[in-house]
Amino acid sequence: MSTVHAAIDSPVGELTAVATDGALVGLYFEDHRRRPGDESMGPRVDTGFEETERQLGEYFAGERTTFDLPLAPRGDEFHQRVWELLTRIPYGETRTYGDLARELGGVGYSQAVGAANGRNPLSVIVPCHRVVGADGKLTGYAGGLERKRFLLALEEPSEAKEGRLF
């Protein structure tokens, strides 16, 4: 198993992309909460992440709403189920932890959904930023609430932006 990483510039700061055998296993912010140690990311490389960089560039330019990359995030079965649900939240929309918990079998799963969401290793690509509190307020984000706010504003439909006074 060969793991490597690369640095990718973005409007939300440098991102560290990590791949194992050609599949993306992590995308981390510089000050990412629960960021793995550098030793687990393998050596830094200058090639091999061109497609990831291209798709992220298109996303940040407002030209891409979904990602088409080989992904292999590491986590237990429940985490995998939550992360799969995250990929189904449409661009420009949000869901609550309770919404996701109900899809998994009941509101009793809300805290577990929150924990799995917080352990998402593929920030931006697996859109955990689209999950908000039951009252619609922004809650924790491994990259910080400013980044979450930025990503949600980036994805906000133009009609909604036009309807706002400020």
**Domain residue extents for the chain:** 3-61, 77-161
List phi, psi (to 5°) of 146. Answer: -65, -45
- Find all residues with CB under 8 Å of 72, minimum gap 6, and list them: 20, 21, 23, 24, 25
Q: Is pLDDT above 90 for 93?
A: yes
Fold category of 77-161 in CATH: Arc Repressor Mutant, subunit A (1.10.10)
Indicate which residue of 4, 27, 128, 151 is catalytic: 128
pLDDT at res. 162: 56
Supply the CATH classification number for the domain 3-61: 3.30.160
Q: Is pLDDT above 80 for 94?
A: yes
Mean of pLDDT values over 96-123: 91
123 catalytic? Reply is: no
- Pairing state between β 95-96 and 23-29: unpaired
Query: What is the percent of the chain where pLDDT is above 70?
Result: 95
130 in helix, strand or coil?
helix
Strand partners, 4: 19
Q: Is pLDDT above 90 for 140?
A: no
The confidence band for 107, taking pLDDT boundaries of 50, 70 and 90, is confident
